[in-house]
Amino acid sequence: MYLCTQKSVMVLITTSLINSKMENQKKTMTKEEFAEFNTEMARLKEIKWKGYTRTLKEIGISYLGKVAQSAKLRHSYYHQVSTYGIYLAPSTMSGFNVCPNSDYCRENCLNESGHNRLEISHNKKVARQTKKKCKESSINRKRVMITRLFFANREVFMRLAVHEINNAMKRAKTIGHFFSIRLNCTSDISPTAFVLDGKNILQMFPNVSFYDYTKVPKRLELLDKYPNYDLTWSIDGSEENREIGLEFLERGGRVAVVYGTEKMPKSWYGYDTENGDRSDYRPQDINQVCMLKFKVTVNNFKNGKFLLPQTDFILTEGAENVEW
């Protein structure tokens, strides 16, 4: 267990969710940032459930999760799949490491793509022009807030999620959509950690289709226990990760591979590929290898020009065991 204290404030965090990198993250914070972190955790910890709207207002957010809130989830929506998704602050952005095995993909995380990339780029430009500190994007601020809420006050987090899920399910039924849930749009936390009144969220909604991507080997064990949970193994370019992915494919599983070329690869290690950008709902894929086009982020520009990152995480022309 890791204990974070400030005077009478105590926040207990289980190491099954936050590994030793949490300690490293704390060391990278300035004194002022760490004080702000503790103050915010203390405030969130004391919040009581007062109904959906009043609780959201006290937290300082307009919603926790949502259907079709991003381009990826909207693609599913256009294919009559309403996916309720939660976007947490990835890696250690919030002070908690919610992506345990993100060493190879952290610098190019899709968290800072899309609308978030535009806002961050604008804020950086304003900071250069005014010679003031760059403002954090509103999207990142919200994701940090709900991630800290998850660890500071699991009950309130879950009551908000359950309220939104029930409403989203009703809406999906009304419009004739299939309903699904993706808890980890920008994180990699076990669904068994989403607990309320002694039940995890997979048990609370046994007839709902849940799906995630993961780089955590132990997570694959949940597939045998929960028939309503689907996983796609994320290839990060490392040899160990790739071997796990190939073993998963042999057992009938699915992997996701990021590519950086205009043309999508036809096969990967002999397995036919699927265009994963047409829809985010992976359980409906026909082929076992889901190809995802690299999403441009803030970190990929130098002097205003886009430069594709040189990393094994992204497939490029000449990659071995790939048919183009």
Sign of CA dihedral 24, 25, 31, 34: negative
For residue 269, count CB atoms less than 10 angstroms from its CB and return exposed for 0-12, middle for 13-18, buried for 19 or more.
Answer: middle
pTM of the model: 0.84
Distance (Å, whole) CA 55 – CA 156 = 8
Count of CB atoms situated within 10 Å of the CB of 250: 10
Q: Is 130 exposed, middle or buried (0-12, 13-18, 19+ CB in 10 A)?
A: exposed
For residues 289 and 273, is the Cβ–Cβ distance under 8 A? yes
Q: Are 91 and 102 in contact (CB under 8 A)?
A: yes
Inter-residue contact 209 to 230 (CB < 8 Å)? yes
3-state secondary structure of 135: coil
Q: How far apart are CA 290 and CA 313, in angstroms?
A: 14
Q: How far apart are CA 298 and CA 117, in angstroms?
A: 6
Cα–Cα dist 106/89, whole Å = 12
Q: Looking at residue 54, what is its pLDDT?
A: 98
Give the list of residues 6+ apart from residue 311 with CB closer than 8 angstroms, or none: 104, 107, 108, 237
Tokens 């065991």 correspond to 321
Cα torsion through 148, 149, 155, 157, rounded to 10: -120
pLDDT in tens, 32-48: 989 999 999 999 999 99
* Tokens describing residue 17: 């969710």
**Predicted confidence pLDDT, tens digits, the chain (324 residues):** 333 433 333 333 333 343 333 444 444 788 998 999 999 999 999 999 999 999 999 999 999 999 998 888 999 999 999 999 999 998 888 999 999 987 776 666 554 544 444 454 444 444 455 654 555 667 888 999 999 999 999 999 999 999 999 999 999 999 999 999 999 999 999 999 999 999 999 999 999 999 999 999 999 999 999 999 999 999 999 999 999 999 999 999 999 999 999 999 999 999 999 999 999 999 999 999 999 998 766 565 566 666 777 788 899 988 999 998
Both tokens of residue 98?
């919610």
Collapsing DSSP to helix, strand or coil, 205 comes out as: coil
